[in-house]
Amino acid sequence: MQLNTPIKSITTLHGSRERILNIESEGYVFAYITDRFDGEANAFEEYDGVIILPTSPVLLKEVLHRFRSANSWTARLMPLFLHQQMELEYMHRQLVDGIVHQLDELYGAVSQIKIIKDHISGSRLRTFPTYEKDTIYKLLVYLLSREQKTLKAYIDRNSSTGYTYPILESLMNGKTPYRLMEFAVGEGLFTTQFQDSVYTCNSCEDGFLMYREACPKCHNTYLSSQDLIHHFACAHIGPERNFQRENNDLICPKCDKALKHIGIDYDKPAVMHHCNTCHHEFQSFQIVATCCSCHKTTAVEHLLKREILTYHLTDKAHTQVEAGSDFNHQPVQENAIPGAVSEAAFYLNMQYELMKSGKQKVLMGMIRWEPFDRILEKIGRQEYHLLQVNISDQVRSSLQSIDFLCVLDNCILFSCLHTSTELAYRVVERTVFLLSHLMKDNLGQDITFEGACLQLQGQQDVKTIVLEKLKEASW
Amino acid sequence: MVDPFEFIHYWQLAGWQKFVRVFWFFFLFEFTRYVLIDYLVLIFYYFKRKVNKSDWDDARTALHLEQPLVSVIVPGKNEGKHLFKLVKSLAEQTYQHLELIVVDDGSDDQTALIGRDLERNGLINLFLSNKVRGGKASGANAALSYAKGKYIVHLDADCSFDRTAVEEVLLPFYYDPKIGAVGGNLEVRNHQESIATTLQAIEYLKVILTGRMVTSTLGIYRIISGAFGAFRADILHRLGGWDIGPGLDGDITVKIRKLGYRVYFQPSAHGLTSVPNTFQKLAKQRLRWDKSIIRFRVRKHKDIFYPNEQFRFSNFFSSLENIGYNVIMNIKWFIYLVDIVVNFGGLIKFILPMNILLYTAANFVQFSAIILIVQKPEEKRRLMLYLPLMVFYTGYFLRIVRTMAHIKELFFLASYKDPWNPYKSSRMAKQLGI
Ligand SMILES: [Zn+2]
Ligand SMILES: [Zn+2]
Ligand SMILES: [Zn+2]
């Protein structure tokens, strides 16, 4: 190709095999690299834009990701262009700012850069100590600088749920963005629109699942099926194999008559399936899905259903980025239970109450449930977390507002402050009763609750006493 | 209405001989059977139960030591709405080594969905859904095909059971190895719903006493209700299960007896059932039941009366008693009616009230015995208020329905046209003459 371009200079980056061509247009300096470039994105601080020559989709994705996940604002917000004749692939639309057909015709790219720079200068580029806030803020600045008002999900076989938001994937280094986006929506920064729904593994949220029929009893997939035959004359019903004789005749095992004409002397009212592993006979399969990532096999009704949404930026996002203002809420930590304190905070608080009370007793309650590992195995981590939240809510509702609680794996600890021993015991007893009834019905599976009341006094170490109690097999 | 003074005066003058002559039917049949025999058997039953108490205790120990798997089978059409209650009632049973098999016989409502859901949640072990209806017998047989239990307990979905019901119904098998089938004791749940249900409640109680305890004690107990009965699985498998109905309950009981097994009624195995709440619905139900007596006793199992190697006197009497007290008695009653009209036609105004008085008195005497044996007797006392109505209920209503059924079946083979069985099965059965 004959290049009629004002190549300014050639830079060799330290540690990179790739050399950078510098191109200038209307006073803006572009770096020209191929997607084989394996250096740091931060090395382009001096440039106004980067033009990439794609050679392979994998390498291109890799290099785009390196820019958009970079630490510095400049690299992350760097205007990126692809040097190609084709249209932009939809996957790249969120990450790339345009196409350059010829290197000597860069006015399109330049005007794009002007717009981006304009938007960036109108934004406050600040950071937040919380990961969630910081990531959302980066996302907002990026989207606004590109005038991208909508954030769409694209089908991608490399994404764990089957869908990806390329910019979020880069910003979050491949972590699933759903909880984060929930937070952003809660902040009023985006409105949502339904796009699709997908099923994911209930333990690792992966969307690559293999579906097939299984025995409802032992979940094995080695099955065979057979018709059920009803002989009208004697009302006998049984599987076809009991009627079959060597010469292909159908003979009723009850009355020894030959079955000749379907609909006249016999019919086949149903199909029965047979499990070749445990020999269970059944009519309705269980459809199971095996997760390709964690290899867990789950009944489909326990899979997670996730809505894939398209997000639309709101005006609030605009004002927040202009002012660089803080978010209204604290993001919910993953697996945090609303209204509950951490285990460490619980012990600390209890210890403090104990110290304050002097010689007086301080009461606390504990309620635990079993068989938590089997329940967890069956319903998955997400549902189990909801169960914990439910239990916590139930306990909360029977406590006073000054009381605090914390949720462990299969146990909930709570203070019973300023109350009599008798009353505390009653609270525990009643809550155990309520939980037993509510949860069993909700869960559709056996769950048993037991409760205990601890009386603490003086210099005792709360944590030691609680752990001691937890070791007891039954309360 | 007859003047009470005239009435009393008339019977005072008439004297004993005439009294017995006019009410020969009552003294010859009804008083003997329903009052005299009842009391004798009742005394005998309790005496025996007391003497054999340690044997019954041993039976209970044996049952709990062996812990056999028991298959509870529930065939039915459109019974989905009852399933959850049934499942709950079974979960409460004192005997727990159960498998529950529910057969949906071509339901056209939500039954398939409900059953499937309960199966998925492990509350039903096997839910068999037949797309096309095959009739009650084929439903039970489908369940039997997949039942793994040593004993089969056959239930209706709309019944509910005492916590001890399954345990109690199994005990006789451990009490006497010659017992092949056990009938449970069903009372009426909705006895307060209407006059019809109240009268049926009384009738059921009377049937428990006379129809079941007495016949069971005499060794001629003849029909194990499909709503609650227990069977040895090996016998059912040997018989190939149930034959097509109606009347399949009586039919299977006869077949078990023919094999030489005893059939036992267990009053302590207690459950509740709902009965038709109007006389119209009741008449329809009874027409079906009564037709089956002709079809199965008189037609299908007439060999019981033949002196062959399978002949047993108890079977002979069981059928004879059944036919006697149903068919022949019915005919005799009409003879009696003719007798009264022809010979005492002018005295109807004296005879009819006396008739009512006599039967009501007999009912009271009999009901006193019932009060002695039932659970929660205080609740049953309410029923005594309605005893006078029983004269009309059993004496006229049921008798007329029964007569209609017998005539229809004897002369027109009506039960083969009964929509209760699918057409395809009935046609087959008629061709084969069963
Ligand atoms: Zn057959
Ligand atoms: Zn299996
Ligand atoms: Zn997984």
Per the model's pLDDT, the better-predicted residue between B165 and A263 turns out to be B165
Residue B424: pLDDT band with limits 50, 70, 90: low
Q: What ipTM does this complex have?
A: 0.71
Q: What gap in Å lies between CA A258 and CA B263, rounded to an integer?
A: 33
Q: Does the structure show a pLDDT above 80 at B192?
A: yes
**Among the ranges given (A358-372, A374-388, B174-188, B284-298), the one the predictor scored with the smallest mean pLDDT:** B284-298
Say whether B128 and A216 touch across the interface (CB within 8 A). no
Q: Which ligand is nearest to the CA of B243?
A: 1
Average pLDDT over all residues of chain B: 83
Residue A116 pLDDT exceeds 70: yes
pLDDT in tens, B231-274: 999 999 999 999 876 667 888 888 898 899 999 999 889 998 88
**What is the pLDDT averaged over residues A186-193?**
94
Q: Contacts of residue A233 in chain B, CB cutoff 8 Å?
A: 244, 428-429, 432
CA of A174 to the centre of ligand 3 (A): 16
Mean pLDDT within B133-157: 91
For residue B244, which residues of chain A lie inside 8 Å, CB to CB? 232-235
pLDDT band at A265 (very low <50, low <70, confident <90, very high): confident
Closest CA to A242 of B241, B305, B230: B241
pLDDT at B420 exceeding the cut of 80: no
Taking an 8 Å cut-off on Cβ atoms, the answer to whether B134 and A282 are in contact is no
pLDDT at A5 over 70: no
The percentage of residues in chain B with a pLDDT greater than 70, rounded to a whole number, is 86
What's the pLDDT at B16? Answer: 78
Give the distance (Å) from ligand 1 centre to CA of residue A281: 22
* β B160-161/B262-273 pair status: antiparallel
Give me the sign of the Cα torsion angle A319, A322, A327, A332: positive
Residues in chain A whose beta carbon is closer than 8 A to a beta carbon of chain B? 216, 228, 230, 232-239, 242, 253-255, 263-265, 267, 269-270, 272, 281-284, 286, 301, 444-445
Residue A4 banded pLDDT, cuts 50, 70, 90 = very low
Q: What is the pLDDT of residue A1?
A: 41
**Strand (E) or helix (H) holding B317:** helix B313-323
- At A354, which amino acid appears? L
Q: Do B428 and A232 touch (CB under 8 A)?
A: yes
The pLDDT of residue A14 = 54
Looking at beta carbons, which residues of chain B come within 8 Å of A444? 121
Least confident of B283-297, B348-362, B410-424: B410-424
Average pLDDT for A237-263: 89
Residue A114: enclosing H or E segment and its boundaries?
Answer: helix A107-121
Q: Is residue A318 scored above 80 in pLDDT?
A: yes
A27-57 per-position pLDDT tens digit: 899 999 988 888 888 888 889 999 999 988 8
Whether B309 has a pLDDT exceeding 70, the answer reads: no
Confidence of residue B417 (pLDDT cuts 50, 70, 90): low
- Kindly list the distances between the CA atom of residue A307 and the CA atoms of A140, A279, A365, A467, B401, in Å, as whole numbers in the listed order: 22, 38, 39, 40, 64
Residues B224 and B154: their CA atoms lie apart, in Å, by: 10
Residue appearing with tokens 């005496």:
B47
Question: Which ligand is the nearest neighbour of the Cα of A275?
Answer: 2
Closest to A205 (Cα-Cα) out of A166, A170, A176 = A176
Counting one residue from chain A and one from chain B, the pairs whose CB atoms sit within 8 A come to: 85
* Whether residue B68 has a cis bond before it, omega within 30° of 0: no
Q: Where are the domains of chain A?
A: 2-121, 216-284, 343-471
Scan for tokens 């330290």, then name that residue.
A14
Q: Chain B 136-165, CB below 8 Å of chain A: which residues?
A: 137-139, 141-142, 145-146
Using the predicted structure, report yes or no on whether residue A7 has a pLDDT greater than 60.
no
The half-sphere exposure of A357 on its side-chain side, counting CA atoms within 13 A, is 20
Nearest residue, CB atoms, A238 vs list B129, B135, B145:
B145
Residue B294 has what DSSP assignment? I
Q: What is the pLDDT of residues A80-95, one digit of tens each?
A: 999 988 887 777 888 9
What's the gap in Å between the CA of B108 and the closest CA on chain A? Answer: 14
Task: For residue B292, give the amino acid letter.
Answer: S
Label residue A2 by pLDDT band (50, 70, 90). very low
- Nearest-Cα distance to chain B for A455, in Å, is 37
Report CB contact under 8 Å: A234, B126.
no
Fold of A343-471: Alpha-Beta Plaits (3.30.70)
Are B68 and B151 contacting, i.e. CB atoms less than 8 angstroms apart?
Answer: yes
Which pLDDT score, from 0 to 100, does residue A320 have? Answer: 92
* Pick from A134-138, B164-168, B200-204, B365-369: least confident: B365-369
Tens-place pLDDT, residues B15-70? 778 777 778 777 777 777 667 777 888 788 778 878 888 899 999 999 999 999 99
Cα Rg of chain A (Å, integer): 32
Q: What is the CA radius of gyration of chain B?
A: 23
Residue B296 pLDDT level (bands cut at 50, 70, 90): low
Q: How far is A368 from chain B (nearest CA, A)?
A: 24
Chain A partners within 8 Å of B425 (Cβ): 232, 235
Indicate whether A221 pLDDT > 60.
yes
Q: What is the mean pLDDT of chain A?
A: 87
**Structure tokens belonging to residue B145:** 């095909």
B290 or A126, which is more confident? Answer: A126
Task: Give the CA distances from residue A209 to residues A153, A165, A203, A309, B378, in Å, rounded to whole numbers and listed in that order.
Answer: 20, 20, 12, 21, 63
User: Which among A230, A265, A443 is the top mutation candidate for probing chain B, defined by the most B β-carbons within 10 Å of its own β-carbon?
Assistant: A230
pLDDT for B407 beyond 70:
yes
Confidence of residue B328 (pLDDT cuts 50, 70, 90): confident
C-alpha A216 to ligand 2 mean position (Å): 7
